[in-house]
Amino acid sequence: MPFGRTARPLTARPLIALGAVGVVTALALTGCADSSSSAGNGSTGSGKVSRVSVTLENDGSDTCSVSTTKVPAGPVTFTVKNESSTAITEVELLQDQRILGEKENLAPGLGAVRFTATLTGGKYQVYCPGAEQELTDFTVTGKATSTANSSAATLLQEGTKGYATYVDGQVTDMVTAVRQLQADVDKGDLTAAKTDYANARPYYEHVESDVDGFVKQGFKATDNAGNLDYLIDMRASNLDDAVGWSGFHAVEKDLFQAGAITASTKQTARDLTENVELLAKLVPTLDYKPEDLANGAAGLLEEVQSNKITGEEEAFSHIDLVDLAANVEGARQAFAYLKPGLTKLDPTLTKQIAKQFDATNTLMDDYRDSSALGGFRTWDAATKAADANKISQQVQALQDPLSRLAEKVATA
């Protein structure tokens, strides 16, 4: 049973309404949802849901086709099906860089998946990384809630609510991914388990700075045996011999270094599932302040510099670039949810940070490889020697302006 989180007090968080930033999720942001009251593409109304199909194909080039690019305001269900593309493995719904819904690990030939979001009027984009045309403009018609008279502080607080739902969705999806990892470990399927491991890692890396202080009941905050972050994400470099191996990287070592699934591996995978399930119960109790988002974003980039670029994080699988890209994405989401308020506070700083996020994402796109685990090139010794300094310098260029955010938003 949970005891608490050492970083700040736990307070209940009510159901959110994000009129100021333009979206309210119908369920979890990345959850799968449908409605018993259906409507055709582009139609909505009382008890109605607009439906949009997104089809991924390779017919000579990798394409991402959206069935309609205009719907009225209200609930919208996106159904995503990968027919034949190996280069496109995820689809996101974006508004001003914020991820409002997404589906990942979209292997060709698998069944269709869905997510539902309630959208207000405005401009959005459907993003399919790896497609010949990655971004498709998407318009929602109807009255959008105006933020013209909202104060910066109000917009920042609205942003924290949206970000809280983003974190909840990431942890929920992590539970699903870890359960799949456990299932394939239990089957003794080494190849599938390696793929599952790479697929599960980004969910934690997106939000690790927000979920790293929970302690199990009956343990002190200084006791690694009860620290959920330690139990889930301990590394070989910070192993506490008194606690022993646990978590993602204990499974990683067996799968990638030993190349074998043993009874111990199966128990470790079961323990990992139990701990992420407990984390998922705790995360909805978090109550964020704007500076929490800013500090968390900075913390994720510090993780990039200290653990990912060095190759320390994924010492056995060498999928460090998967984690690195996920840390950057998590930081970008925290910034994106603060952006409406931050733009009122300091438009120059806001533009500077946005520009550096774009430059970092462009750089990371050079390392994408749809055939590799997690969709990025292996961070082997040769690649690290050639490119570590280049990536580190770009991340530092992003860190410098981002580090000014916490003080800025805390005094709004």
Per residue in 309-329, pLDDT (tens digit) is 999 999 999 999 999 999 999
Give residue 145's pLDDT.
65
In a domain, 16, yes or no: no
Mean pLDDT of 380-399: 96
Residues 139 and 249 placed together within one structural domain of the fold: no
Looking at the predicted structure, is the pLDDT value of residue 237 above 60? yes
Return the CATH number at 220.
Answer: 1.20.1420.20
Q: Considering 120, 146, 172, which residue would you say is the last residue of a domain?
A: 146
Residues 172 and 101 placed together within one structural domain of the fold: no
Q: Residue 222: count other Cβ atoms within 10 Å of its Cβ.
A: 9
Task: Give the structural domain span for 88.
Answer: 22-146
Q: Which residue matches tokens 């997404």?
A: 102
236: tokens are 């070989």
Cα separation values, 239 from 219, 235, 247, 405, Å: 18, 6, 11, 33
Give residue 410's pLDDT.
86
Give residue 344's pLDDT.
94
334: tokens are 């925290």
Average pLDDT, the chain: 86
Looking at the predicted structure, is the pLDDT value of residue 21 above 70? no
Spatial distance between the Cα atoms of 337 and 365, rounded to a whole number of angstroms = 23
Residues 165 and 86 placed together within one structural domain of the fold: no
Give residue 338's pLDDT.
97
Q: Considering 125, 146, 167, which residue would you say is the last residue of a domain?
A: 146
Residues 303 and 400 placed together within one structural domain of the fold: yes
Looking at the predicted structure, is the pLDDT value of residue 7 above 80? no
For residue range 162-213, what is the model confidence (pLDDT) as tens digits? 999 999 999 999 999 999 999 999 999 999 999 999 999 999 999 998 888 7
DSSP H or E stretch at residue 136: strand 135-141
For residue range 238-251, what is the model confidence (pLDDT) as tens digits? 888 999 899 999 99
Q: Vertex 32, ends 127 and 23: CA angle to 5°?
A: 60
Give residue 147's pLDDT.
65
Give residue 203's pLDDT.
97
Res. 411 pLDDT band, cuts 50 70 90: confident
Res. 116 pLDDT band, cuts 50 70 90: confident
Res. 97 pLDDT band, cuts 50 70 90: confident
Residues 82 and 164 placed together within one structural domain of the fold: no
Residues 130 and 235 placed together within one structural domain of the fold: no
In a domain, 58, yes or no: yes
Residues 224 and 105 placed together within one structural domain of the fold: no
Give residue 34's pLDDT.
35
DSSP H or E stretch at residue 76: strand 74-82
In a domain, 402, yes or no: yes
Give residue 148's pLDDT.
64
Looking at the predicted structure, is the pLDDT value of residue 153 above 90? yes
Q: What are phi and psi of 3, to 5 degrees?
A: -105, -50
Residues 179 and 204 placed together within one structural domain of the fold: yes
Give first-to-last CA distance, the chain, whole Å: 37
Residues 139 and 183 placed together within one structural domain of the fold: no
Q: Considering 91, 115, 146, which residue would you say is the last residue of a domain?
A: 146
Spatial distance between the Cα atoms of 309 and 298, rounded to a whole number of angstroms = 16
Residues 223 and 342 placed together within one structural domain of the fold: yes
Residues 117 and 266 placed together within one structural domain of the fold: no
In a domain, 26, yes or no: yes
For residue range 326-383, what is the model confidence (pLDDT) as tens digits? 999 999 999 999 999 999 999 999 999 999 999 999 999 999 998 999 999 999 999 9
Give residue 131's pLDDT.
94
In a domain, 14, yes or no: no
Spatial distance between the Cα atoms of 89 and 374, rounded to a whole number of angstroms = 10
314 close to 252: Cβ distance less than 8 angstroms:
yes
- One-letter amino acid of 112: A
pTM: 0.77
Q: Which residues, including other chains, have CB under 8 Å from residue 15's CB and lie 6 or more apart?
A: none
Residues 368 and 233 placed together within one structural domain of the fold: yes
> 17: which strand partners?
none
| Count of structural domains, the chain | 2
Looking at the predicted structure, is the pLDDT value of residue 31 above 60? no
Spatial distance between the Cα atoms of 268 and 270, rounded to a whole number of angstroms = 5
Give residue 114's pLDDT.
86
For residue range 256-307, what is the model confidence (pLDDT) as tens digits? 999 999 999 999 999 999 999 999 999 998 889 999 999 999 999 999 998 9
In a domain, 151, yes or no: no
Coil, strand or helix: which one is 92? strand
DSSP string, 115-130: EEEEE-SEEEEEE-TT
Return the CATH number at 69.
Answer: 2.60.40.420
Burial class (CB in 10 A: 0-12, 13-18, 19+), 6: middle
In a domain, 124, yes or no: yes
For residue range 39-55, what is the model confidence (pLDDT) as tens digits? 344 443 344 889 999 99
In a domain, 11, yes or no: no
Burial class (CB in 10 A: 0-12, 13-18, 19+), 45: exposed
